[in-house]
Homo-oligomer: A and B are copies of this chain.
């Protein structure tokens, strides 16, 4: 089931077989360095989100620059990171179901793995799984700080739930998960600031109410690539959870005052047809590049516009004089980096036109 890699180290970029997920290593490393620099003198730490990159290799590069660990969104990602040597992992999400909880508890032997909860019934299931595995699980409470998706209400409801966790012999109350996902792509910086201002305020109040009950928050986590500067400035959060900053995508680039990172992730595609006048077709459709947040952009080739994705075809409109020859390889900027990465088995790391490395995307795929 393992797909062979589409390239080999040393090969010119132009010989990479397509579609391929190409990482511009200079831009990628600059992004990691920039985030590390931003947090150098801050009490807030980076726990980068691995749902973006799905790779223990990239996790290690982030940790080498000061990240204190990784977030993941599901048990399969936690497994891939733990098996890949990452020692500190937060599942920034609910995990439901006996089989999954047993898998989660089984990881405690090799890594420190924490998880979130937003339901008292689920605290009981977590306690049972930890007891059965003979371990203790650190549990954070997810609060709904504005996204209205998961999370208990901030304030008293969270305090009640924390008491249930604290009273469970095999659980450790670890703090709060307070991520405002829909704020990341609010276009205006004022809108983003207002959303995170509200999130930080309700989080601050909840932390205080917990403290009044003797329940300390070792972790107060949240913040993504679109808003992490707001969370850091609030003074409420101890950790930020940005992931996309390493790669960027066309959707983040549409934010006013977009995040200060470079586009490092591309889908390399080949022009496979030019039979229709004014049209070119590439071999990257929506199985090769995610379109949930808009179509990809053609990078560095003015006059070519990606206007339609079918399963295995991308249709480009071609302006006069911009027609690509059959076989030309084009870099596409994905609309959304996370689910694009999820389509591939390999990163092809490229520097100065040459393939430098191949990294497996071990946490990809539909499994939970």
Contact = CB atoms under 8 A, between A and B. Distances in A.
Interface in A305-354: 309-313, 315, 326-327, 338-339, 342-345
A94 B326 CA distance: 11
A119 B367 contact: no
A45 interface: no
B339 A311 contact: yes
A239 interface: no
Contacts of A273: 94, 96, 118-119, 149-151
Number of copies: 2
Interface in A354-368: 360-362, 364-368
B94 A360 contact: no
Given A122-B326, A326-B122, A360-B1, A96 B272 contact: yes
A144 interface: yes
Instruction: List the 9 shortest-distance A-B pairs measured between CB atoms, nearest first.
Output: A150-B273, A343-B366, A118-B275, A96-B272, A73-B312, A344-B366, A94-B272, A3-B367, A1-B2
18 contacts: A1-B345, A1-B364, A3-B365, A17-B100, A17-B368, A20-B366, A93-B312, A95-B272, A96-B271, A96-B327, A121-B326, A144-B276, A149-B281, A150-B272, A270-B368, A286-B290, A288-B368, A344-B366
